[in-house]
Amino acid sequence: MGDLFWPGDERAGDHFTSAAFLRAMVAVEADWVGRELPVPDDVDRLAREAESGGNPVIPLVGLLREAVDDPMVHRGLTSQDVVDSALMRMARDAVADLRRSLGSVAERLAELAEAHRNTPMVARTLTQHAVPTTFGFRVAAWLTAVLDAYDDLGRLSFPEQLGGAAGTRAALVELGRDLTDDVPRWHTTRAPVTRLGDAMVGCTDACARIANDVLVLSRPEVGELAEGSGGGSSTMPGKANPTLSVLVRRAALTTPQLAATLHLAAAQQVDDRADGGWHAEWAPLRDLVRRTLVAVSQTDDLVAGLRVDADRMASTLADAGDAVLAEQRTMAELAGHDPAPTYLGDARQHVDDVVDRARRTVKEAP
Amino acid sequence: MGDLFWPGDERAGDHFTSAAFLRAMVAVEADWVGRELPVPDDVDRLAREAESGGNPVIPLVGLLREAVDDPMVHRGLTSQDVVDSALMRMARDAVADLRRSLGSVAERLAELAEAHRNTPMVARTLTQHAVPTTFGFRVAAWLTAVLDAYDDLGRLSFPEQLGGAAGTRAALVELGRDLTDDVPRWHTTRAPVTRLGDAMVGCTDACARIANDVLVLSRPEVGELAEGSGGGSSTMPGKANPTLSVLVRRAALTTPQLAATLHLAAAQQVDDRADGGWHAEWAPLRDLVRRTLVAVSQTDDLVAGLRVDADRMASTLADAGDAVLAEQRTMAELAGHDPAPTYLGDARQHVDDVVDRARRTVKEAP
Amino acid sequence: MGDLFWPGDERAGDHFTSAAFLRAMVAVEADWVGRELPVPDDVDRLAREAESGGNPVIPLVGLLREAVDDPMVHRGLTSQDVVDSALMRMARDAVADLRRSLGSVAERLAELAEAHRNTPMVARTLTQHAVPTTFGFRVAAWLTAVLDAYDDLGRLSFPEQLGGAAGTRAALVELGRDLTDDVPRWHTTRAPVTRLGDAMVGCTDACARIANDVLVLSRPEVGELAEGSGGGSSTMPGKANPTLSVLVRRAALTTPQLAATLHLAAAQQVDDRADGGWHAEWAPLRDLVRRTLVAVSQTDDLVAGLRVDADRMASTLADAGDAVLAEQRTMAELAGHDPAPTYLGDARQHVDDVVDRARRTVKEAP
Amino acid sequence: MGDLFWPGDERAGDHFTSAAFLRAMVAVEADWVGRELPVPDDVDRLAREAESGGNPVIPLVGLLREAVDDPMVHRGLTSQDVVDSALMRMARDAVADLRRSLGSVAERLAELAEAHRNTPMVARTLTQHAVPTTFGFRVAAWLTAVLDAYDDLGRLSFPEQLGGAAGTRAALVELGRDLTDDVPRWHTTRAPVTRLGDAMVGCTDACARIANDVLVLSRPEVGELAEGSGGGSSTMPGKANPTLSVLVRRAALTTPQLAATLHLAAAQQVDDRADGGWHAEWAPLRDLVRRTLVAVSQTDDLVAGLRVDADRMASTLADAGDAVLAEQRTMAELAGHDPAPTYLGDARQHVDDVVDRARRTVKEAP
């Protein structure tokens, strides 16, 4: 069902829904027992029955054994093996989509930066006019943020779990399963989860960095940017709101605390399975991944539709007048020469460098 | 649909679901226009269409006007009036249920404290045995936490919004609506939301304080408490886990960050309607309220079923031996008399005081 | 020593410094033993020796007993009694100063709102021009936020602790101390701390709400407000930055997470003294209180020096032109009359109501 | 001055103190101008004067120019170049120390895991006895957490900043400085800061994972572990508290929110220098790094002194009796053979694998 509390949620598709979670858990069980297993269709019942054992695996195993009458179903596994492996399978799929989406943002930004490599605008620091810059240089900053986030996504791994009751694989050995490989066991060491969470926040940080600029620069008094098609108002005809930017910014206000929750849960790990620290991960991780998918997709649309008013940029810079060149005069005097005709440093070279980085990064992505 | 990511979620019933949100928004619009309005049945469509304007009111108004062919629907309101009023109506209902549930916890704890007013056990500080105490005294601490949270719930208010496009009620005056009353306007000052959030966290803090003790005291090596019916294991027959406590503890690891998000959103208020700070509230508020309802309900069951092993408490205290009376000897020596037969201070009086507070508090609740 | 990491820190004076903490602890011990006690002058040594027992009371008691050769020093108390009582004494003093400072902000805002009760400006929602409003109406929103925070400060209480080793006051009774009163015991139920934290964040939320508007409205393209004396630049002569607003906004990005930490610590309470949840409170509480004192003081200066450009407000509204009156035309048509000459609803009445609230609130403050 | 609010703080030495910050800023300025510069000795004055410009560089540059009478001091730089570069220099030094300290923890844990490769104990899941395990296997989990954190430290980089007023290096070019290299510019894209923050939290997560186990297993009813020298009590003679574990656990309750603050600040980046998002980083980063240094150092001591009671582990396992072997009987029956003499799966092999990873990791560290 659509989520009225998070407009745009449908952009995350089926990633990390309860239905997807169920399918992923059944797939883990099926792979383990080496046979096809049916996906129960009563998610509500499973959800209700999940409470008594604290997780959905116990009622699921009951249904699966009932359905296929195979006593080997789930044998040697523990609930956490199934839940963690299912979470990682969902995460792997979500991150694959996310990289495609963020890669698209990067490509669009690379084009935008090149197109505006020489578009002059006034730089702003602490809200006030500073010195001249170019819009391409600004876009290069957006692109840097996106590429940093993209790099972090590429470093993630999605290990499954296979430990049995207490991680020792005792039941597996007793059952005679072959266990020659060295598989990481992270039942109580949650770096795979916290790294995933941190990387998600890196993405929303980058998207918000763009949205913030659009929100400032599309204020009517500034007017240098505009969203492709603004959102309407329920009462004011003709108003065009930068809705995508607003929604992206919204996401980034919520995700850091979700990732912090994953770390707090990691820091509560104890014994061979934690008494709450594990259970606290699932919903925040779901929300974190879905909101990141939504925010990146919205940013992709935002950048695709962005309207740049280069004339307005030029006239604002011209109006800013002498003040934005005061620094240059000081420097020229110190250097003992007349001020150079432009005061843009290596801005254009920097744009080229960042665009190059983008092209290499996205092309080399697996 | 059941939430596999948050076992126990169904305890929160229909509070703050998308369907409830929709009904509340329609009710706000109906009250305003002074006629019955139909509740659209396609939540998914509304959710999808909510993105372009950033909130679900714009498509909702479209559907409502279509359905009743009344141009006065929504006239004079703004989206935020409808969303904020609907959130507060949902909050008012949820808090009413929450107070009933938390009041039940308080009553059960008052009974438990009285029943164990004289049940000796060893106090533990920084995990180590300290001096003698009673289980009733410990329960009085739980009860204090619950009553503090209960008091905070009682202080909440749930103001609606009625401001129009920019809060000035210009359209209402233009339409000739009577506006003699002084209604608070909090479109960009979010204390009603942040106070609600803080109060929710107060509830989960209190519940976790109980759950933490149950988790320690039901460890097999301690064995002084046990949950009424423990949860099973997917692989180990006969294992009884303190599942309710685990799930309560889980909730309390996540709620502080949700309330922090509400404050961060409040601190991002700007202009006459914020560019993301407002939108960031809805989902965290939903999650915060629902998780609190679930945690308090689970705590109610936990306390109702709690099994106390007074013999084990007594024998642990006895085994702790001389060490727990070392402080008493020092004090008696300083006071120049033999140690008194018990070393419980005013523990019993304190239990009575807290129980009295509970009885007064819950009885006087409106 | 001044804090280079938090410019403005000195505004918090001696509140919650290590030296103040030490003095408060000595005062608690002195009150208890009923005699003057010297304040040790080697804070560094105490800090170093605090680690082995986990808190500074153990080495402090050693020094005090050495200094006055009185075996009754600290007798009957526990470390937590002393630390918690000292924290509450410091908090009580800090909140008294904070209320004075926030009351001053409220008074200044009340004057500003009245002065600009009729100063027209354009309202902005989601960054875009909406309908006409007045600057006084905007200031009334700022004032509402401040008064809500002020009210919450007034509800705080600062209970001390007196429980002995495990809260039962056993040693006190053994020593024959008179204990007729019912004193709250909150060693493991931390509402006094979390409520304090939440109230602090309410203050920074309110201050940031003001700062955000100043930051937007003092952008050169908007130019409707300016800080009294802007901050300079290290390289650009003549630049005037809205530094106070920047620093206030900074604070509000950090305080919600500090208050969340207090709640998380509260939710980790266990046994009769927690194994980390207690210790985690001290530094975050210190930072939270000091940053709030600084932010409110900076806001007081910010409001005192604020420069309002009413002409610019008027011309921006005029330039916004027809679009900001589109809603009015719709409403007038629906109502069947010509548009009224102004479109400000009850904005002026609302300003008066909020100013009245401010006058009552600050006057009635104890 | 010692910090009474954070016992153990002195373990972080001079890292990220105000004095160190000042020295690092002077070093950045000195490197830039290519001459020695004196470190001003009045940190308090600098701190006070830092407020008007929002950061300490402006008054610092004033003092430096006064001291050396060289107009080229700071020419071409902006405040943010100096602050960010100084933060990164401090971070680089702190992380170097941190890696040494965490490497020491890893080496000690590797030895401990090997020493107890065959020490039987009962596994515990959700607080209850599960199946047999070894203490070495448990230590391997601790070690895994530490190595994951160690790996993340190794991936950090510490780029300096050199952009001038708006990042374009305009002043540098005007001054004729050679700028052939491609230097990253991250004035408004804060991955270097957020990655550092996330890596710090990874360290405290890992340390807390160890401390939590020590806290549980050193409860007198369990008695399988003990801290080398417990902390005393201010009133109870003979009490030995697991103080190091308590203090480590404390840290991990606070660090995730500090890292979240860094992300929130990153998500507030806007323009060419942010209006608060930048300033909000400094103090949280300082606290995050110092607390991590303290926690890792305390963990190193904790592990070094840890006392293991293998007899108690064995007797608890024996007492747990038949229940912990119930799973094995089920598995053996399914497999159609008698239960094997042990039920430890590949626990010993896993210990060897993790120890190998530790040896390789720490040896290969640069």
Residue D19 has pLDDT above 70, yes or no: yes
Catalytic residue chosen out of the listed positions D18, D157, D229, D233? D233
Q: Rounded mean pLDDT of D135-139?
A: 98
DSSP character for D307?
E
Name the residue with tokens 């929160």: B12
Residue D154 has pLDDT above 80, yes or no: yes
CB contact under 8 Å between A246 and B279, yes or no, is yes
| Nearest-by-CA chain C residue for D56 | C4
| Nearest-by-CA chain C residue for B79 | C125
- How close D124 comes to chain A (CA, Å)? 5
Give the chains touching C; criterion: ≥3 Cβ pairs < 8 Å.
A, B, D
Q: How confident is the model at residue A366 (pLDDT cuts 50, 70, 90)?
A: low
- How close A249 comes to chain C (CA, Å)? 12
Name the residue with tokens 């008064």: C147
CB contact under 8 Å between C246 and A128, yes or no, is no
**Closest by Cβ to B221, choosing from D215, D222, D241:** D222
What is the radius of gyration, based on Cα positions, of chain B? 26
**Closest by Cβ to A327, choosing from C215, C221, C236:** C236
CB contact under 8 Å between D2 and C47, yes or no, is yes
Instruction: Mark whether A157 is an active-site residue.
Output: no
Q: How many CB pairs under 8 A join A and B?
A: 245
Q: Please give the distance of CA D44 from its chain centroid, rounded to a whole number.
A: 29
Task: Render pLDDT for B171-211 as a digit per residue (tens, 0 to 9).
Answer: 999 999 887 677 789 999 999 999 999 999 999 999 999 99
Q: What are phi and psi for residue B203, nearest 5 degrees?
A: -65, -45
Residue A216 confidence (pLDDT): 98
Closest CA to B128 of D243, D301, C83: D243
Give the Cα separation of C31 and B90 in Å (integer): 49
Q: Rounded mean pLDDT of C229-257?
A: 90
Task: Render pLDDT for C332-344 as a digit per residue (tens, 0 to 9).
Answer: 999 999 999 999 9
Q: How confident is the model at residue A69 (pLDDT cuts 50, 70, 90)?
A: very high
| Nearest-by-CA chain B residue for D213 | B127
Q: Tell me the pLDDT of chain C averaged across its residues.
A: 95
Q: Rounded mean pLDDT of A75-97?
A: 97
Task: Render pLDDT for D281-314 as a digit per residue (tens, 0 to 9).
Answer: 999 999 999 999 999 999 999 999 999 999 999 9
Give the list of residues 6+ apart from residue D65 with CB closer than 8 angstroms, or none: D71, D73, D74
Residue D236 confidence (pLDDT): 76
Q: Rounded mean pLDDT of C67-74?
A: 94
Residue C321 confidence (pLDDT): 85
Residue C221 confidence (pLDDT): 98
Q: How confident is the model at residue A278 (pLDDT cuts 50, 70, 90)?
A: very high
Task: Render pLDDT for B9-34 as a digit per residue (tens, 0 to 9).
Answer: 999 999 999 999 999 999 999 999 99
Question: What ipTM score was computed for the predicted complex, to two decimals?
Answer: 0.97
CB contact under 8 Å between B247 and A51, yes or no, is yes
Contact by Cβ (8 Å): B332, C165: no
Residue A77 confidence (pLDDT): 95
Contacts of B316 in chain D (CB under 8 A): 221
Structure-token pair, residue B299: 């705590």
Give the chains touching A; criterion: ≥3 Cβ pairs < 8 Å.
B, C, D
**Closest by Cβ to C127, choosing from A129, A219, A327:** A219
Does this model's pTM top 0.80? My answer is yes
Residue D137 confidence (pLDDT): 98
Give the Cα separation of C239 and A354 in Å (integer): 30
Return the residue in D51, D198, D210, D247 with the most chain A beta carbons within 10 A, the one to mutate for interface testing: D198
Residue A264 one-letter amino acid = L
Q: How confident is the model at residue C366 (pLDDT cuts 50, 70, 90)?
A: low
Which residues of A fall below an 8 Å CB-CB distance to C?
124-131, 215-216, 218-222, 230-231, 233, 235-243, 246, 257, 260, 264, 316, 320, 323, 326-327, 330
Q: Rounded mean pLDDT of D51-79?
A: 95
Residue D321 confidence (pLDDT): 85
Contact by Cβ (8 Å): C72, B334: yes
Task: Render pLDDT for B151-163 as a digit per residue (tens, 0 to 9).
Answer: 999 999 999 999 9
Contacts of C330 in chain A (CB under 8 A): 237
Contacts of A168 in chain D (CB under 8 A): 123, 131-133, 137, 344-347, 350
Residue A1 confidence (pLDDT): 61
Q: How many CB pairs under 8 A join B and D?
A: 92
Give the Cα separation of D165 and D272 in Å (integer): 9
- How close D20 comes to chain C (CA, Å)? 10
CB contact under 8 Å between B345 and C271, yes or no, is no
- In chain C, the percentage of residues whose pLDDT exceeds 90 is 91
- How close C224 comes to chain D (CA, Å)? 18
Q: How many CB pairs under 8 A join A and D?
A: 309
Residue D366 confidence (pLDDT): 66
Structure-token pair, residue D112: 């401990």
Instruction: Return the percent helix, strand and coil in chain C, to nearest 5.
Output: 60, 5, 35
CB contact under 8 Å between A237 and C326, yes or no, is yes
| Four-CA torsion B263, B264, B265, B269, nearest 10 degrees | 100
Q: Which of C311-320, D37-46, D180-189 has the weakest average pLDDT? A: D180-189
**Closest by Cβ to C237, choosing from A238, A320, A326:** A326
Q: How confident is the model at residue B366 (pLDDT cuts 50, 70, 90)?
A: low
Task: Render pLDDT for A107-151 as a digit per residue (tens, 0 to 9).
Answer: 999 999 999 999 999 999 999 999 999 999 999 999 999 999 999
- In chain A, the percentage of residues whose pLDDT exceeds 70 is 99
Helix H or strand E encompassing C121: strand C120-125
Residue C238 has pLDDT above 90, yes or no: no
CB contact under 8 Å between A141 and D213, yes or no, is no
Contacts of C208 in chain B (CB under 8 A): 267-269
Contact by Cβ (8 Å): C153, C203: yes
Task: Render pLDDT for D242-273 as a digit per residue (tens, 0 to 9).
Answer: 999 999 999 999 999 999 999 999 999 999 99
Catalytic residue chosen out of the listed positions C219, C233, C315, C329? C233
Q: What are phi and psi for residue B85, nearest 5 degrees?
A: -65, -40
Q: Tell me the pLDDT of chain D averaged across its residues.
A: 95
Closest CA to C163 of C153, C152, C176, C173: C173
- In chain D, the percentage of residues whose pLDDT exceeds 70 is 99
Residue B117 has pLDDT above 70, yes or no: yes
Closest CA to D124 of A272, C346, A248, A126: A272
Catalytic residue chosen out of the listed positions A233, A307, A329, A360? A233
Give the Cα separation of D3 and D6 in Å (integer): 6
Task: Render pLDDT for B308-364 as a digit per residue (tens, 0 to 9).
Answer: 999 999 999 999 988 899 999 999 999 999 999 999 999 999 999 999 999 999 987
Task: Render pLDDT for A212-251 as a digit per residue (tens, 0 to 9).
Answer: 999 999 999 999 999 998 777 777 777 889 999 999 999 9
Contacts of D117 in chain A (CB under 8 A): none
**Closest by Cβ to B165, choosing from C131, C155, C249:** C131
Give the Cα separation of D70 and D29 in Å (integer): 12
Return the residue in A18, A83, A235, A244 with the most chain B beta carbons within 10 A, the one to mutate for interface testing: A235
CB contact under 8 Å between B2 and A280, yes or no, is no
A148 - beta bridge partners? none
Structure-token pair, residue A3: 């989520």
CB contact under 8 Å between B3 and A164, yes or no, is no
Structure-token pair, residue B156: 């909440």
Give the Cα separation of B158 and B196 in Å (integer): 9
Name which residue leads in pLDDT, C237 or A195: A195
Angle at alpha carbon of residue C95, lines to C89 and C98, rounded to 5°: 145
Q: How confident is the model at residue D1 (pLDDT cuts 50, 70, 90)?
A: low
Residue D229 confidence (pLDDT): 82
Return the residue in A121, A126, A201 with the most chain C beta carbons within 10 A, the one to mutate for interface testing: A126
Instruction: Return the percent helix, strand and coil in chain D, to nearest 5.
Output: 60, 5, 35
Catalytic residue chosen out of the listed positions D138, D273, D286, D290? D273
